[in-house]
Amino acid sequence: MPDLATLEAPAGHLPAVPPAPEPETLLAELRSHPPAARAGLIARDPRFGRRALADLLIARSRERLFDHPAEAVELTRLAVAAAERLEPERIGAAQAHDAAARAWAHHANARRVDGDPAGAAAAFGRAAEHRRLGSGDRLLAARCAELEASLEKDQQRFERAHALLAQALAVYRRDGLDERLGRALVKRGSILLFEGRWSAALRATLQALPLLRPERDPRTFGVAAHNAINCLNHAGYSIAARALLDAVRGLHQRLGDALSLLRLDWMAAEIDRELGLVARAERGLVAVREGFVERGMPYDAALVSLELAEIYARDRDPLKLERLAREMFPIFQSRALHRGALAALILFREAVALRQADLRLIGDLAAFLRCARRDHDLRFRPS
């Protein structure tokens, strides 16, 4: 016969409700299951319907976004599952929709970086649906607009990208959110840089720098500094670009940021080329290309290879160009270039063999690869 004390506790002696698991504990439990089973576990188990877990998954995805975008996609997929599992009657319907909108927007951005613009656009659509049912949080709307601006930039819809970013900038200025404003200005500078509007990109970047806190967000500060160096070099101020590069190098060395140092070496070679130090630029680009190959970053390695091709084409050195083309294809065939990018490199190799690879073709191919890394369905059409 069961103990009646276990069935009915005296008043004032009710059993304590066990505390909800910490988000880190829930994340560890998720990781103990096979990846394919994790979303289903969230859907079945109400313990995983936690806004704090969705936020933690988004934070982890941002750490992996640019170096390991496929992992960021999976983390944000789980964030969406956790946010969709929230109980409206417990936290409020509007707040539940806000959490889902945030998760969908970050999932969209991860899909964008992973080269799936159609999936990103669909996910941004889901985020917008949830926002319409949400609380009208203007900071959430600003953040979603800021993320979507990057997709529009990748698709070269620059007018739409600037319009979305202007919405975010207006909110951040009105609310006095300097760090968010600085990050959005860095993004504006990146879009203008992508358009080739060097002076405007430099102005936006210089407006952003005083608002950033490199100790809190070294990556955004690094992007801003790199953009400023790039703008100065392309605008003809290569000596000033070199001085800024040397100052930024010390910051990355203190942070132990090896990838950013490699990108600085890339820009240093470009500055050398602008200053007429072609042999030094060539040596620097060869070393940088090898660094990207070793890190499994084929698009960056291919872009550096094309900068070498441009040097050889300008020097009218077909033998070096042919050797470069022979070296490129085996390297990139074994890497994560999608089929359209590989086909473009085959066309380049054939053009080199026929002595028809001119500066226009090299420029067209470089522009294509910059877009193709974010759109795996893109196909190369030389002008």
How far is Cα 215 from Cα 241, in angstroms, rounded to an integer? 23
pLDDT over 90 (residue 60): yes
pLDDT at 346: 85
Torsion of CA 121, 125, 130, 131, to 10 degrees: 90
Closest CA to 103 of 95, 93, 92: 95
pLDDT over 50 (residue 2): no
- 5: in domain: no
What domain count does the chain have? 2
Q: Which of 132, 164, 192 is the last residue of a domain?
A: 132
Q: Which domain holds residue 36?
A: 21-132
Cβ-based neighbour number of residue 147 at 10 Å: 22
- Residue range 195-224: average pLDDT? 90
Phi, psi of 177 (to 5 degrees): -95, 85
pLDDT at 295: 85
87-143 confidence digits (pLDDT tens)? 887 889 999 999 999 999 999 999 999 889 999 999 999 999 999 999 999 999 999
- 36: in domain: yes
- 245: in domain: no
**Alpha-helical runs (H) found in 175-277:** 178-195, 198-208, 218-234, 238-255, 258-274
Q: Which of 107, 132, 157 is the last residue of a domain?
A: 132
Closest CA to 183 of 209, 152, 154: 209
The residue assigned the tokens 């990050």 is: 183
- 52: in domain: yes
pLDDT over 80 (residue 71): yes
- 193: in domain: no
pLDDT over 50 (residue 6): no
- 160: in domain: no
- 113: in domain: yes
- 144: in domain: no
Q: What is the pTM of this model?
A: 0.83
Closest CA to 272 of 302, 296, 307, 299: 307
Q: How many CA atoms lie within 13 A of 355 on its CB side?
A: 4
Mention every residue, 6+ apart, whose C-beta is less than 8 A from residue 42.
30, 48, 49, 78, 81, 82, 85
pLDDT over 90 (residue 144): yes
pLDDT at 18: 53
Q: Which of 84, 111, 132 is the last residue of a domain?
A: 132
- Residue range 360-364: average pLDDT? 90
